[in-house]
Structure 1
């Protein structure tokens, strides 16, 4: 069984930053970036769990809910990946970290 701690840690850090970010930061692109990665994680989880079905798209629940959407999608994927390859897990972690860096570049709030 894979240790999905790196994915959960990356997702939780990004989600926490989103939850504490001011509305202006969320509106300037952080929320859109987070929704995109949450949708990607959700689609990955669905493909692992049911590869024969087309993944459903996570809805846009608004800028104040995106941190929770990211957390849920990340944890769903972590559960799905527990029996998958380490490469899939590593790719998911890189995906989350890259999105977090685009949403909150180093040295900014």
Structure 2
């Protein structure tokens, strides 16, 4: 089983930053970056959990849900990786979260 704690830590940190951002920062693009990340993480989790079923797209729940959507999708992916993922998939997810975190600074 993979140690997914680094992914959980990165996701939680980013989600916390997004939750604390003012509306103006979310509108300037942080929420869009977060939604794109959440959708990608959810897609990856679904492909691991249900490889024979097409992934469903995470809906846009609005600016103020961006942090929560990242947290939910990131935690789902961490659990999927813990049980059936590879080190490479974990590294890719960590890289993706890191790139999103840099984009919303």
The TM tier, using the shorter chain, reads over 0.9
**Quick check: which one's helix share is greater?**
2
2:11 counterpart residue number: 11
2:100 counterpart residue number: 99
Count of residue correspondences: 104
CA distance in 1, matches of 2:100, 2:53: 26
Deviation >3 Å, runs of 4+: none
- Structure 2 unaligned spans of 5+: none
CA distance in 2, matches of 1:34, 1:15: 9
User: What do residues 12-47 of structure 1 show as CA deviations (whole Å, max 9, x unaligned)?
Assistant: 111000000000000000000000000000000000
CA distance in 2, matches of 1:103, 1:33: 7
TM-score (norm 1): 0.93
